[in-house]
């Protein structure tokens, strides 16, 4: 169990990884949630909570994994982001969208800092509209159908995301700083 908004929990998790495995070669960074509320009524505490979950926690995971990867001279990090980093979702997603923008920029900065030291850092922009019914639970069925109809490939799902993660974690791959869309082409229709 790890509270992703608590750096002490994250550090303890990585200590457990050290003891169990002695190294880390790949970090898939996806944990965290955000409070949804209209911009005019969201409490600043909820913005901070969203930021701690989605940005601070992910950075702390990158930092802990990065320190270990730097010591061994290799590793791959994939941050799971969202179309919300480049597109307005509306419907109370202000905290989430701001945080996802920060995750995209964090990916760029870390890839620049660590590429020459053997660590690749990339991100995948996944569309909750198209991939997971859990991500669409708060949407009207007509919204989901509209999003799926706007995607040239139809529904890009968790399998597509998993395949891209497996690709990016391959040793010897020379790709870093990429922020790729996993959305069935949805981003090109907007």
One digit per residue, pLDDT tens: the chain, 190 residues? Answer: 899 999 999 999 999 999 999 999 999 988 888 888 999 999 999 999 999 999 999 999 999 999 999 999 999 999 988 776 667 677 888 888 889 999 999 999 999 999 999 999 999 987 655 444 444 445 566 666 666 666 656 665 667 778 888 889 888 889 999 988 777 666 656 5
The catalytic residue positions are 96
Can you give the pLDDT at residue 172?
86
The CA distance from 107 to 179, in Å, is 8
What is the C-alpha to C-alpha distance for residues 179 and 84, in angstroms, rounded to an integer? Answer: 13
Q: What are phi and psi of 88, to 5 degrees?
A: -80, 125
Can you give the pLDDT at residue 133? 44
Q: What is the pLDDT of residue 176?
A: 93
Q: Is the dihedral angle over the CA atoms 91, 151, 111, 58 positive or is it negative?
A: positive
Residue 131's pLDDT is 42
Residue 140: per-residue pLDDT: 61
- Closest Cα to residue 131, out of 99, 164, 91? 164
Q: Residue-wise over 94-106: b if at least 16 C-beta within 10 A, else e?
A: bbbbbbbbbbbeb
> What is the CA 172 to chain-centroid distance, rounded?
22
- First vs last Cα of the chain: how many Å apart? 39
The DSSP-derived string for 68-92 is: HHHHHT-EEEEEEEEGGGTS---TT
Distance between CA atoms of residues 153 and 149, nearest Å: 9
- pLDDT at position 144 is 60
pLDDT for the residue 171 = 87
Q: Which residues of 146-168 are buried (b: 16+ CB within 10 A; e: fewer)?
A: ebbebbeeebbbeebbeebbeeb
By residue count, the chain amounts to 190
pLDDT value of residue 109 = 97
């Amino acid at each position: 169990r790890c509270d992703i908004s608590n750096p002490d929990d994250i550090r303890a998790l990585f200590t457990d990884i050290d003891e169990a495995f002695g190294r880390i070669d790949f970090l898939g960074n996806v944990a965290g949630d955000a409070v949804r509320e209209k911009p005019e009524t969201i409490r600043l505490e909820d913005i901070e909570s969203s930021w701690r979950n989605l940005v601070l926690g992910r950075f702390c995971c990158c930092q802990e994994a990065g320190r270990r990867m730097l010591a061994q001279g290799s590793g791959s990090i994939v941050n799971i982001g969202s179309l919300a980093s480049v597109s307005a979702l509306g419907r109370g997603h202000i905290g989430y969208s701001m945080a996802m923008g920060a995750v995209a920029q964090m990916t760029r900065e870390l890839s620049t800092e660590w590429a020459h030291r053997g660590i690749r850092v990339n991100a995948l922009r996944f569309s909750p509209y198209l991939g997971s019914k859990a991500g669409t639970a708060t949407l009207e069925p007509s919204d989901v159908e509209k999003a799926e109809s706007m995607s040239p490939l139809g529904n890009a799902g968790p399998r597509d995301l998993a395949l891209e993660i497996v690709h990016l974690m391959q040793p010897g791959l020379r790709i870093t700083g990429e922020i790729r869309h996993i959305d069935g082409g949805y981003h090109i229709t907007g």
